[in-house]
Amino acid sequence: MSNEAAAAGDAAGTTEGAPAVGGAPAPARSRDIASYIDHTLLKPEASEAEILKVCFEAAEYRFKSVCVNPIWVKTVKTALKGSGVLTCSVVGFPLGATPTDVKAFEARGAVLDGADEIDMVVNIAAARAGDKGALVDDITAVAEVVHAGGAMLKVIIETGLLSDEQKVIACQAAVEAGADFVKTSTGFNGGGATPEDIALMRRTVGPDLGVKASGGVRSLADAQAMIAAGATRIGASSGIAIVKGEQGSSAY
């Protein structure tokens, strides 16, 4: 069983009265959703004060992680110490067009700085070409350094730029390369998570890999729909609105 399968089980244990659908339980109450959320701030102009605010919110609402650009990993790790909230960072973000060895180097640095999880963007050109071998090589190089550091790897396939066939190939590559999650989107390259894509990804990777919905998840209803379709993690900058049952306005 993968690390994510265990994590999903922990999250599911907080849910009452919700049926299992698509490999993941749908929480019945808004407060249960918090344990699924990666509270995210990836804007390049984000200030230290804004990063620290996100950390404070994550600790208050008990989100799963705070997801930031690599320059903020040390800051976030320090701010979240003792909170139980994980530190997450991104690699090859947001285009995925970085050489594989550079992605691996970036991932190693983020893990050394304290990242518990890494969200990498795949080689999107290879995904569009259906080149599974290139995708496996790209993901494997990052997975090896991430896992060597005791961290977890999520693979962003950028569903908005792929056909269903290409999405399946990218997910299969992530499984073969030993990733812990597949993830829909960066939120920066058009399109976002849809229940249909989550269901397709869940069918492709099976029950033991995590599936993360990101991009455009702005309300409790959005989050519940993604979880019902098979998501075990939600990436959102509207996390507070989601847990409050309100409508978020963020583009991510």
Residue 212 annotated among the catalytic residues of the structure: yes
Which among 64, 103, 167, 212 is annotated as catalytic? 212
**DSSP strand E in the chain: where?**
20-21, 24-25, 37-41, 65-68, 86-91, 117-121, 152-156, 181-183, 210-214, 233-236
Which among 77, 183, 197, 222 is annotated as catalytic? 183
- Residue 120's CB is within 10 A of a number of other CB atoms, namely 28
Are 219 and 226 within 8 A, CB to CB?
A: no
What gap in Å lies between CA 224 and CA 75, rounded to an integer?
A: 31
Residue 119 annotated among the catalytic residues of the structure: yes
Residue with tokens 């869940």: 202
Which among 32, 119, 197, 222 is annotated as catalytic? 119
The torsion angle over the Cα atoms of residues 180, 12, 60 and 216, rounded to 10 degrees, is 60
Which residues are the active-site residues? 119, 183, 212
